[in-house]
Amino acid sequence: MDNNQAISMASTYSYAKVQFLQRQAASLLLYQSVLQSEVGNSFLELLQAIRYTDADAKSCLQAYGSYFQALAASSQNWEDYLITQILIADNPFTRLAQRQEWENLPPALIAAVRHDLQVLQSLYECSTASLSEWVQAVGHLPVSPVVWYLEPEKLGRELKLVASLQQLENWADAVEDLATYYRQFGTGLFAEYRALRWQSGQFVGIRNPDPVKLSTLVGYESQQEALLKNTKFLLSGEAALHVLLYGSRGSGKSSLVKALLNEYSEQNLRLIEVAKSDLQDLPKIVEQLRGVPQKFIIFVDDLSFEEDDDAFKALKVVLEGNLTARPLNVVVYATSNRRHLIREFFGDRPAPQDNTEIHAWDTMQQKLSFSDRFGLTLTFEPADQKTYLKIVQHLAAQAGINITPEDLEFQALQWATRHNGRSGRTARQFIDFLKADLTLFGVNNNISTTPSSN
C-alpha cells in the first residue's frame, strides 16, 4: 500500500468517526451546556471542518488552530475540561439532585443522565492527539499539528469522582455517584466560583476575589473572634446571626468579611456581593440560594439609607423574616460608617404643630433602631496610636521589611499624619509603599510625600 492509499484510508476512517461523534453530541438531553463554551464550540466546529474539508484544507487547519487556542486559554486539556464541565453543569438533574435523595429522583431523569454520560464518554475518548492525526490525514500534511497538552493539576474534592469515571468502562454506571457529588458540593456558578456579585438581576462569578487573609488582620481581635464564631455557626448548619460591622473608615471591616471567604471556601462558604442599589432584589436573591449545599454570606458594603428607600424595606424583610421560613444557609454581613443606618434630620424630630404625625416619636425610633435588627453588631473604634503601630509592625513582619523598630515607628506615624490618619488601611498603604521603596531603591529615607487630599 502506498502513502496516498494510507492517507485515503485514514481520511475515510476519520470521516466515519467524526460523523458518529457529531451525532452523539447532537443527542445530548441534559448536558448540552458542556459543549456551549468556547472550548466546546471550537471542538464541534473542528469536527465539522474535518468532515467537510475544502480542497486546500484551509478551514480545517483554521478550526484546529481555534480549538488549540481555546484549550490553551482555558489552561486545561480536553479531558480535564470535559469532566470539569460535567461537575459544574446546571440542568434539571443537577438542580434536583442537590435537593432530593437519590431514591426520589425521577426515573426518566436518571435514564437521560445515563444516556448523556455515555455520549460524553465517547467525546472524552476523542483526544486532542486523535484530532491532530485526523487533521493531518484530511489535510495531507507531512506531520500532524502540535498537540495541546498540560500537566493536569492536582485535584481536590472531586478527585474520588474523577478517578471513578476514569476507571469505569461505562460512565452510565456513575450516575448515583454524580448525584451524591452534586448534593454535597452543588453545581453551576456556586460550584465554579467562590465569590459572586448580583448584577443586572443575575449572579456573576468573580474570577479573582480579594486574596486578603485573616492572618494579615490585627488590632480588632474580639470583633474578629465574634465574627468567626458566627460564621462557624453558619457552616455547621446552625442558625447564624445577621451581622452589622460598624465603625470608622479604614478599620478593616470589609477586609475581615472578605478574609472569611479565603479561610472557609473549602468548607463550601460563598460570598455574594450585593450593591446598595440592588438591595430591592434581596428577597429574590435569598430564595435562589435556598436549598443548595453551599453556605452564603450576602455582603453589603458601606450601608446607609435615605427615608422611604425601597432597599431599606427589602433588607428589613430579610432581617426580620416574613411568612416564608428563613434559609439556614444564608446570612447578611453589612458594613457601615454610621451607627444609625437611616439618615435622620432635625426636621424629622416631632414638634407640636399642625399636620404632625401623632406617633412621630415611634416613627423616629423605628428609624434609629433599624441597626438593632441585625442580630450582632460589631463596633470598630478608631485606631489609637498603640493599635495603629501594632498593625504596622505585624504587616512589616509579614512583608519581610528589615529596618529598625524605631525607624519603622517614626515613619509610620509620619505617614499617618500626612495621609488619612491612623487606621488599618493607612497602615497597609504605608507598608506597601515602604516595601516597594526598599525593593526598588534598596535604601529608605524618611518618607516624604504630598499629603493626601482625603
Closest CA to 330 of 235, 188, 256, 223: 235
Q: What percent of the chain has pLDDT over 70?
A: 82
**368 band by pLDDT with thresholds 50, 70 and 90:** very low
Helical (H) or strand (E) element with 87: helix 78-88
**362 band by pLDDT with thresholds 50, 70 and 90:** very low
What are residue 229's DSSP bridge partners? none
Q: What is residue 378's DSSP assignment?
A: E
* Residue range 67-79, pLDDT digits in tens: 999 999 999 999 9
Q: Can you give the pLDDT at residue 304?
A: 72
Q: Can you give the pLDDT at residue 337?
A: 79
- Tell me if 186 sits within 8 A of 294, measured CB to CB: yes
Evaluate if residue 367 carries a pLDDT over 60.
no
Residue 71, SS3? helix
Query: Which DSSP string corresponds to 268-334?
Result: TEEEEE--GGGGGGHHHHHHHHTTSSSEEEEEE-S--B-TT-HHHHHHHHHHH--SSPPPTTEEEEE
* Residue range 132-188, pLDDT digits in tens: 999 998 888 899 999 999 887 665 666 677 777 878 889 999 999 999 999 988 898
Tell me the pTM: 0.77
Counting beta carbons within 10 angstroms of the beta carbon of residue 148, is it exposed (0 to 12), middle (13 to 18) or buried (19 or more)?
buried
Q: Can you give the pLDDT at residue 365?
A: 43
Q: If you average pLDDT over every residue of the chain, what do you get?
A: 83
Q: Can you give the pLDDT at residue 237?
A: 92
Residue 342, SS3? strand
Burial 92-109 (b: 16+ CB within 10 A, else e): ebbbbbbeeeeeebeeeb
* Residue range 416-443, pLDDT digits in tens: 888 878 888 888 889 889 989 888 886 5
Q: Give the integer Cα–Cα distance in Å for 120 and 97.
A: 19
Strand order in the sheet with 376-380: 202-206, 195-199, 269-273, 295-300, 330-336, 243-247, 376-380
- Range scoring the smallest mean pLDDT among 44-48, 164-168, 291-295, 345-349: 345-349
What integer is the mean pLDDT of 18-24? 94
Top-confidence residue, 56 or 112:
112
* Residue range 272-321, pLDDT digits in tens: 999 988 888 988 999 999 989 999 999 998 887 555 556 667 777 777 76
- Tell me if 369 sits within 8 A of 379, measured CB to CB: no
Closest CA to 194 of 267, 255, 127, 121: 267
Evaluate if residue 24 carries a pLDDT over 90.
yes
What integer is the mean pLDDT of 42-47? 96
Closest CA to 424 of 252, 300, 235: 252
